[in-house]
Chain A
Amino acid sequence: MSGVRPALPDAAGHFGPFGGRFVPEALVAALDELAAAHAVAMADPDFQRELRQLLTSYAGRPTPITEARRFSEHAGGARILLKREDLTHTGSHKINNVLGQALLTVRMGKKRVIAETGAGQHGVATATAAALFGLDCTIYMGEEDTRRQALNVARMRLLGADVVPVDAGTRTLKDAINEAFRDWVTTVEYTHYVFGTVAGPHPFPAVVRDFQRIIGDETRTQVLDALGRLPDAVVACVGGGSNAIGIFTAFLADPQVRLYGFEAGGEGIETGRHAATLSAGSRGVLHGARTYVLQDADGQTRPSHSISAGLDYPGVGPEHAWLRETGRVCYQPVTDAEAMDAFRLLARTEGILAALESAHALAGALRVGRELGPGSVVVVSLSGRGDKDVQTAARWFGLDASDRSSRSAAYRRPGSGVDVPGRPM
C-alpha cells in the first residue's frame, strides 16, 4: 500500500497549468483556513484514527472486491473485478469524502454545512454526516435534477437537510455549485462548504482526493492479496472525478497499470449533447479552478447532457486535466446507450444494479477488457448503487410498474444466459 502523499498540487494548488484559485477575495480566508486544517489533520494520528473508526464502524469499510465472472464473459476473456463502493452506507463513494470533511468542519468550529449535488448521492452523504454530527445542513440541487432524482431529495429531507432547488441557468449541477458558492460567500464565518468532487478552488481538489484515495489504497492491497500481482487496468467514470482520482491515486506510480477514465458521451460527441469535458472541452476557468471546460468561443459555459445526473457537469477536476495532458490516464467518452447496455448486463449477469455513473465505467471496462484480452485483470470502481436510478432505467428500457406486458418474462428463459444487447429489453 502506498502511504506516500502525492506531490501535487503545489502550495498554491496547481497541477501543472491547472487548478489554482479563481474565486472572490471574500472566500480566500476560508480556503486558507481549510487548507491549514486539512494539512494539520492529515498529519495528525488522532484525526486519522477517528476517521478510520468512522469509515469502518459507520460507513462499512473496507468495501469488498467482487469478481464479476458472468459479466466478464462479455469482456473478451478479461477478468473484471468490481470495487464495491456501492456497498457503503448511503450507497456510494461520496461518504468517504463527506465523513472526512465533516470532521474538518467540527475541527474548524463551524456549525453549518452546505453542499451541491447532482444525482443526489453527495447531498445524501452530506445530509447523513450532518445528522451524525449535529450540523445544520443545506443542499443545493438543480431543479431539473430534483425531478430526475426525487427519491434522493426525499432521503435528504428525511435526514433533516434543507434542499434548495436551483432554477438558474441550466438547472443542473453546475448551477447548484454557483448557488452554493453564493451561500458560502455570505455565510463563510460559520459555514463549511462540503465540496463533493475533486474540482473547485484549491484546496478542494486535494482535500477530496485525500479522502477518496482510500478506494485505491484498499483496491491495491486487495488485488495484491488475492492475485499476487497488480491489475492490468483500473477503470472509473469521470464527472467531476472524485471516485476516479480516489482509485487512480494508488496506482499513479505503477506504470504497468493502465488507467482509464470514462466520461459521459451522452447522445454522442458529434451531437454536442454530452458531458465529455476532457474529450471535447478546452482549457478554461470554471468554479474556481483552471481546468477543462465545455464552453463556446466566448468562454460561456455550454450546457452538458448525460442520462446520469452525477456526470452531467461541464467541468472536471484539475488533476484529471493534468493527468490527461501528461498521458498517464486515458480518457474516453461512453454514450448513454452504451452505459445503459452495461447497466443491464451487470444487472442480468451479476445481480447488481449499478449507479448510472458507474455504468459508464462498466461499459468502459468491457471495452478495455476486449482490448487487453484473455487473462488480463481489469478493476472497475463501482462508485455507487443504482437504487436512485431505477425510475430512469425503467423508463429507458420501457419497463415500469404499470406495464403488465413486460418483456422480461420472455427474456428470462431458463438457461438463456445473457440477453442480446439493444433496447428495449
Chain B
Amino acid sequence: MTAVGEALRRCRAEGRAALVGYLPACFPDVERGIANLQALLDGGVDILEIGLPYSDPVLDGPVIARAADVALRAGSTTAAVLRTLEAVAASGAAAVIMTYWNPVEQYGVDRFAAAVAAAGGSGLVTPDLLPDEAEAWLAASDAHGLDRIFLVAPSSTDERIALTVRFCRGFVYAASVMGVTGVRERASVQAPELVARVRRYTSLPVGVGLGVGTAEQAAEVAQYADAVIVGSAFVRCVFDAGDDAPAALRKLAADLAAGVRRMPATG
C-alpha cells in the first residue's frame, strides 16, 4: 500500500475524512513552493497533491491557472517538480502529483513513474487522462506500484463510473461540480449523489474536490466523502499573504483540518 493509501486508512480508523491539500510546485518559486507544501502538512493536511505547472491547464480556474503561470515564469521544470516531491516526501508526507498528461508523455511515461516512485510519491492525479487512453500509464503504474487517481464527474454515466473506478487505485477523485477548479460559495448539491453512485461500484475511498474552500464546506463534505480536496483556497492564500504565505497556509490548513474532524451535526 502506498503512503497515500496508509494515510486514508489511518483517517478512516479515526472515523474521519482525510484532508487533501493542493498547491502547484515551484509556486511562487522552487524553494518557497517546498516551504508552502510543508506549511500545509504542519497545519494538519493529511495528503499533499502537488501540481505540475502546465502551460495549458484547461480544468483550472483563474486562480490556479495564474499560479501555474507564476511557477513557469519562476523556472518550473518537471525536474524541479520531482525535486519538490522528493523534499516533502522525505519529511514523511503522503503525496501525489497532479498533472496534465503531456508533460508526463514528454518525460516518458515509464521514466516519469519510476521517478515519482523513487522520490517517494504515491501516484498521479490525471485530470485530462481518461482510462480509455491510459494504456501506457496503467502499465507504468503497475510496474512501479503507484496509485492512479482518475476523475469522475456529475455528468459521468454509470457505465463511465464503473469503467473509471475499475482502473483507479488509491482513491477516486469525484469532481463535485461541473466546472473548473475554484472556490464556490456553497458546497455542491451534486457531490453527495455522485459519491453515492461511485460507492455502488467500488470500495475505494472517494475524495471530493472542486469548490471546497472553508472549514464549514470541509465539514459538510467530510460527512459523506473519504477525503476532502482543497486547492484554489490555498493558492489564493499564497497570493494574498505574500511573504507570510507559510504562516497563513498553516492557519488555513488548521481551520480545514478542524473542519474534517468536526462531528456530524445532530438534529
Residues of A within 8 A of B (CB): 12, 20-30, 168-169, 174-175, 178, 181-182, 185-189, 284-288, 293, 295, 297-301
Contacts and interface: CB of A to CB of B under 8 A. Distances in A.
A286 to B, nearest CB: 7
Nearest to A298: B78
A178 B178 contact: no
Interface in B108-156: 127-130, 132-133, 150-156
Interface string B46-76: 0000000011111111100110010010000
A168 B69 contact: yes
Contacts of B130: 21-23, 25, 28
Contacts of B77: 298
A306 to B, nearest CB: 18
A62 to B, nearest CB: 38
Contacts of B133: 20-22
A178 B180 contact: no
DSSP majority for the A interface? mixed
Nearest to A30: B155
A212 B104 CA distance: 34
A188 B69 contact: no
Nearest to B127: A24
A188 B178 contact: yes
Nearest to A14: B133
A293 B102 contact: yes
Contacts of A174: 56
Contacts, number: 116
B56 A25 contact: no
A24 B59 contact: yes
Given A23-B128, A28-B130, A299-B78, 8 more contacts: A26-B154, A28-B155, A29-B156, A182-B58, A188-B178, A299-B102, A300-B103, A301-B56
Contacts of B175: 24-26
Interface in B81-118: 101-107
Contacts of A28: 130, 153, 155-156, 160
A372 B88 CA distance: 63
B57 A295 contact: no
A287 B155 contact: no
A298 B103 contact: yes
B78 A285 contact: no
Contacts of B65: 168
Q: Quick one: which of A23, A169, A300 has the most chain B CB within 10 A?
A: A300
Contacts of A298: 77-78, 103, 106-107
A297 B58 CA distance: 20
Contacts of B150: 25
A67 B104 CA distance: 50
A168 B57 CA distance: 11
B248 to A, nearest CB: 25
Contact of A301 (B55, B60, B101, B164): B55
B242 to A, nearest CB: 22
5 contacts: A20-B133, A25-B152, A26-B154, A26-B179, A298-B103
Question: Lowest 8 CB-CB distances: which A-B pairs, in order?
Answer: A299-B106, A26-B153, A299-B103, A186-B179, A299-B102, A29-B155, A285-B102, A181-B58
A231 B14 CA distance: 75
Contacts of B151: 24-26
Contacts of B66: 168
A24 B103 contact: no
Q: Quick one: which of B55, B59, B104, B129 has the most chain A CB within 10 A?
A: B55
Contacts of B78: 298-299
B69 A25 contact: no
Contacts of A187: 178
B72 A300 contact: yes
B132 A21 contact: yes
A299 B81 CA distance: 13
A290 B58 CA distance: 15
Contacts of A185: 58-59, 178-180
Nearest to A182: B180
Interface in B154-180: 154-157, 160, 164, 175, 178-180
Given A21-B133, A301-B56, A26 B102 contact: no
A29 B157 contact: yes
Contacts of B104: 299
